[in-house]
């Protein structure tokens, strides 16, 4: 009984640990990707605001 059950338990634990680690790595990579996209988006937004402010300032001065 012991010799039949233990390899199955070991295989299950080995497989579940592998799947858990793989999912963990995927989640960490996804989090990094989302963080970089959010930072990039805020950077773009700040550039757009800066350009908008510069254009508005130039138009106000020329009027």
pLDDT in tens, 4-50: 777 888 888 888 998 999 999 999 888 888 887 776 666 666 666 66
Whether the predicted model's global pTM rises above the 0.85 cut: no
Could you give the CA distance from residue 22 to residue 53 in angstroms, rounded to a whole number?
46
Owning domain of residue 25: 1-63
Q: Alpha helix (H) ranges present in the chain?
A: 2-62
CA 49 – CA 22 distance, rounded (Å): 40
- Statement: residue 57 has pLDDT above 80: no
Q: Please state the domain count of the chain.
A: 1
* Per-residue model confidence (pLDDT) at position 9: 84
* pLDDT for the residue numbered 20: 92
Determine whether 27 is exposed, middle or buried from the number of CB atoms within 10 Å of its CB (0-12, 13-18, 19+): exposed
């Amino acid at each position: 009984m012991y010799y039949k059950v233990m390899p199955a338990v070991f295989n299950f634990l080995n497989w579940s640990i592998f799947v858990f680690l793989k999912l963990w790595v995927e989640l960490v990579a996804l989090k990094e990707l989302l963080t970089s996209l959010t930072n990039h988006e805020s950077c773009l937004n700040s550039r757009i605001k800066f350009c908008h402010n510069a254009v508005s300032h130039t138009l106000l001065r020329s009027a």
